Amino acid sequence: MRQTIYYGGPKIPQTGLQQLYRWEEWLQPRSIPECLQLIVSIPPWGDVARDEHKRFSDRAAEKAEALAEECARDPHAWLEHIEVVLQGEQRQARAFGRRLGQCLEEPEALINEALKVLARLNRTDANPLVLAAFLGSLKATHTELVERTLDAVANHQHLRSYLNQSS
């Protein structure tokens, strides 16, 4: 729908364009798992915009970063759904994880929950990229916490295989 608006917008009558905008709004995710899935895991490909200087911006990454900021404001509301971003395809894992690491005031809760989830997930389904990006953004400000986390991962039989994947 967004691509129809982007590419066909100038040719679409105003009433049709307004209807497309209403449909787009109606189709937006509402629940936390839906938001995580549709914004971080599988956002649409090619979601770009041009600014007034004709430069392109990655709207999918911007939305993932905005969602990370929202999650950082109320981490307990979404942490119970963290499994959504720790398995399967995660197209915006780096943008989401990095921004979350920059914004979250108490990173230990996320790390602990992510490690619990990754430890119980089937290795073929698990995807630690959000956690890797999160830890990467914490490295400069929470060096000791990151080192403790990596040590814990290295010493855990099921988790140690993720070290090569997420480094």
Quick check: is 14 in a domain?
Answer: no
Residue 130 has pLDDT above 60, yes or no: yes
What's the average model confidence in pLDDT over 132-161?
Answer: 97
Strand partners for 58: 48
What's the average model confidence in pLDDT over 75-98?
Answer: 97
Quick check: is 10 in a domain?
Answer: no
- Comparing 51-55, 127-131, 160-164, the range with the smallest average pLDDT is 51-55
Strand partners for 48: 58
What's the average model confidence in pLDDT over 80-101?
Answer: 98
Computed over every residue of the chain, the mean pLDDT equals 90
pLDDT of residue 2: 63
Provide the token pair at 55: 């430069």
Residue 166 has pLDDT above 60, yes or no: no
Residue 3 has pLDDT above 70, yes or no: no
Residue 47 has pLDDT above 60, yes or no: yes
Residue 27 has pLDDT above 80, yes or no: no
Quick check: is 17 in a domain?
Answer: no
Residue 32 has pLDDT above 90, yes or no: yes
Higher pLDDT, 126 or 49: 126
Quick check: is 150 in a domain?
Answer: yes
pLDDT of residue 37: 96
Quick check: is 136 in a domain?
Answer: yes
Give the predicted TM-score (pTM) of the model.
0.82
Determine the structural domain holding residue 63 and report its residue range: 31-166
Quick check: is 72 in a domain?
Answer: yes
Q: What distance, in Å, lies between the first and last C-alpha atoms of the chain?
A: 37
Quick check: is 26 in a domain?
Answer: no
What's the number of domains the chain is made of?
1
CA–CA–CA angle 90, 61, 119 (5° rounding): 30
Quick check: is 64 in a domain?
Answer: yes
Mark 29-52 as b/e (b = at least 16 C-beta within 10 Å): eeebbebbbbbbbebeeebeeeee
Q: Are 99 and 134 in contact (CB under 8 A)?
A: no
pLDDT of residue 34: 94
